[in-house]
Structure 1
Amino acid sequence: MKWSKYIILLCIVTLLTGCWDRRELGKTSIVTGMAVDKGDSLKYKLTIETTEAREMNVKTATGFAPSSVASLEGNTIGELAAKFNIVNATIPIYSHMRLLIISEELVEDGLLEFMDFFDRNRQIRDDFAIVIAKNGNAGDVLKVTNMYKKSASLKLFTQLNTMQKDWGGAPDVKLNDYTRIYSSEGQAPVIPAVEIVGDPKKGGSVENMKSEVPESEIDISSMGVLKNGKLAGYASLFEVRNMLFIQGKIKTTTLTANCEGGKKKFGYRITHSKTKVTAKEKNGIPNFYVKIKTEGSLDGTECSQKIGEPYAFEGYEESINTIMEKEIESFIKKTKEEYNADIFGFGDIFREQDYQHFKKYKDTWDDGYAKSKFHISFNAEIKRSGLRKDRMIMK
């Protein structure tokens, strides 16, 4: 019994040893963002942003730059990530990366083979956002400072999340989403696109962060559609929202519709949204029935109708339904004719609900999508009128 206690104690002691791969905090730097451009002399140009912890904290900030941005050129991203100490004094830690920016030029040429590095690497998580740098270099995006988060990548990561949750103008695309959709038989991948507004050179200064009206900032501008690994075109923010309606990913948003007569407008704030898609083949043609049901409240009106009257909301709801059904149908038509790419995932739904007929399109879903028919039903239900019934001024 006595010896057994010693043996148990020795076993416990072995569990108290330190980590074999530990690194001192003072000798490391946290990478928050990475950008990939075409290289001038080699295949890729990799830019990383590392944050300075003291400058990120209000109590310890001294007024210096909150982050450091450095670039290297090479033929593989793995090689570049491993040798960044050519320009960086400390060891880069990639596990907390929040953003990957890809230049428009790379996406247009289909040079996205480097994505395998991020999908395969053990040190990089799969929950960072991916964006396209439209009309500019990806590395320049990481140089634009800001007041909110100071770090360009941290600010843009939060910006994408809040935009998607509050209005629906940005798809929530993380690495695991991109990888899953890229290998899908019935859906084409999409990536949010951002643009630098203003002078990129002035965006890297500390004064840009302190200014009430920054000389340079990053805007979410659109969404890139990929077809066979290349950029097929861009969709507007309103079209992105229509895609999210179909996918059932709208949390809250505000729609604008016409009053009776068409000259004045009113707003409809959606608080609940639910989408049901049914797929079946009829006479050799895939048919999709999309039913979108929303609930919300009146969010400001210029209309002359008195809201306190019975069935007063019926005209508002009919106007919303008509506009949204036309917009969604128009965008689906655009994806068929301009991109020839199913970005909604209708192919995956067809495979799940009618696999016997989907089998013939397994390797050629683009052909099936091109001839598919869509039946859109948008049902808006206004539950509340806000804090008052009628307009403050009736004219």
Structure 2
Amino acid sequence: MKRVVIVISSLLLLAGCWDRRELKEIGIVSAVGIDKDIDTGEFLFTSQVLNPSALKPEAGGTGSPVKLITTKGDTVYKAIRNTHQEFDRKNFYAHNRVIIISEQLAREGILPILDGITRGREARGYIWLCVTKDSQARDILDVKQQGIEKVQANYLESILENQKLNFDVAVIKLNDYYKKSLKGGIDPVIGVLKMIVGSGDASQQVKLSGGAVIKNDKLVGFLNETEARGYNWIIGEVNSGVLTLPSLLEEEKLVSIEIREARSNIKPEIKGNEISFNVEIKTSGALVEQQGEGTLKTRKEQYDYLNQLEKELEKKIEQEINNVIEKAQKDLKADIFGFGNALNKKNPKKWKEVKDKWMEDQFSNAAVKVKVKADIGTRELLKEPLKMKD
């Protein structure tokens, strides 16, 4: 909300290019969605345009804070231009937050869709790129979000930025997608937006969940949240998050470990024609919740308990990593971890030799050894769980 007011105020103060009259003639686009008309095969381009009057409660503004404009075209750029025939303002895209592409279109190819947006200078490289799952892009933009933000695009931007606090999802910005898609040696994973059934007054909600795997610029499958977490461990995108483990003090109870730091290292090994990889993870965290009741009376008991928790944590992380590696190698056949990239850095000559058959042969058959070292701080360990007095 604050950002929207600043943007509008800044535009009012600009001289030369924009004056008050011109501001009234432009529509500030906060998000776009691209779908496909299943009947005609045309592109459906949806712009989420801000309604400034509805964003000023002090001026008694009413109505929806945004307006959705959907137009058709046999190309994306044509669909963008056709908004001039159906909307009374010229769309201004410099403050766009996110591009959403429907699952159907993503399976056909993403770069051709982005070409019509970026070549026409309708998008900046720092915005978020997402695909939908089991819904249309326009439907995602049409949901009345359940957060504090009045503008859906700001809500989407916030949950995408919150990935640094939640390692169960994968996200990517436009520039990074270009780099991974065009560089070779790594396949991108894009953020996934899906609609879920809400509760109370909100019949529908939008959730960021898992990740979408892109191979040769086409969507080939999805990662669930556990798989996305394993993926983030490998690529070194774990900044914070919470893992639950069975309590060692009481059956059917849990403990929560907050991950506070993590590092990843991918090491290729070459022996003759055999290529393998070692994935090393080092992580530290804190015991932030303990459901099981019990007392650790001595330092040795605390130390032993801590060691057991660390081993359980290492085992869980290794399992999640191994599961997503198996899915990538056997089901998706997509190198989402950048193993090819790591091989190229270590031995460019070997990479040049195998890159043409990397996905079909070398990557899918490469042995991967995972080693995790976890450290859990002791400060919170000394606190006993809350319990009723006898």
Alignment partner, residue 282 of structure 2: 293
Seen in structure 2, the aligned counterparts of structure 1 residues 196 and 282 have a Cα distance that, compared at 3 Å, is: same
Report SS of the residue matched to 2:219.
strand
Map Cα deviations across residues 7-50 of structure 1 (whole Å, 9 max, x no partner): xxxxxxxxxxx646878211111101111111242421111100
Alignment partner, residue 156 of structure 2: 156
Partners of 1:323 and 1:198 in 2: CA distance = 30
Partners of 2:110 and 2:377 in 1: CA distance = 49
1:236 pairs with 2:224: yes
1:246 pairs with 2:240: no
Alignment partner, residue 4 of structure 1: none
Contact 1:279/1:350, CA 8 A, preserved across alignment: yes
Identify the range of structure 1 (107-116 vs 217-226) with the bigger mean alpha-carbon deviation: 107-116
Question: What's the TM-score, normalizing by structure 1?
Answer: 0.86
Partners of 2:30 and 2:206 in 1: CA distance = 16
- Equivalent runs, 1:326-345 vs 2, <5 Å: 326-345=319-338
Alignment partner, residue 370 of structure 2: 376
Alignment partner, residue 350 of structure 1: 343
- Equivalent runs, 1:381-392 vs 2, <5 Å: 381-386=375-380, 388-392=382-386
Contact 1:299/1:385, CA 8 A, preserved across alignment: no
How far did 1:120 drift? 2.6
Alignment partner, residue 363 of structure 1: 356
- Equivalent runs, 1:1-395 vs 2, <5 Å: 19=16, 24-39=22-37, 40-60=39-59, 62-110=61-109, 112-146=111-145, 147-162=147-162, 164-198=163-197, 213-260=201-248, 263-303=252-292, 306-307=295-296, 309-310=299-300, 311=303, 312-366=305-359, 367-386=361-380, 388-393=382-387
In structure 1, stretches of 5+ residues that fail to align are: 1-17, 200-210
Seen in structure 2, the aligned counterparts of structure 1 residues 49 and 150 have a Cα distance that, compared at 3 Å, is: same
The higher radius of gyration belongs to 1
Seen in structure 2, the aligned counterparts of structure 1 residues 170 and 58 have a Cα distance that, compared at 3 Å, is: farther
Partners of 1:271 and 1:307 in 2: CA distance = 24
Identify the range of structure 1 (215-224 vs 292-301) with the bigger mean alpha-carbon deviation: 215-224
How far did 1:161 drift? 1.2
How far did 1:111 drift? 6.3
Contact 1:280/1:353, CA 8 A, preserved across alignment: no
Contact 1:221/1:237, CA 8 A, preserved across alignment: yes
How far did 1:102 drift? 0.9
Question: What's the TM-score, normalizing by structure 2?
Answer: 0.87
How far did 1:143 drift? 1.0
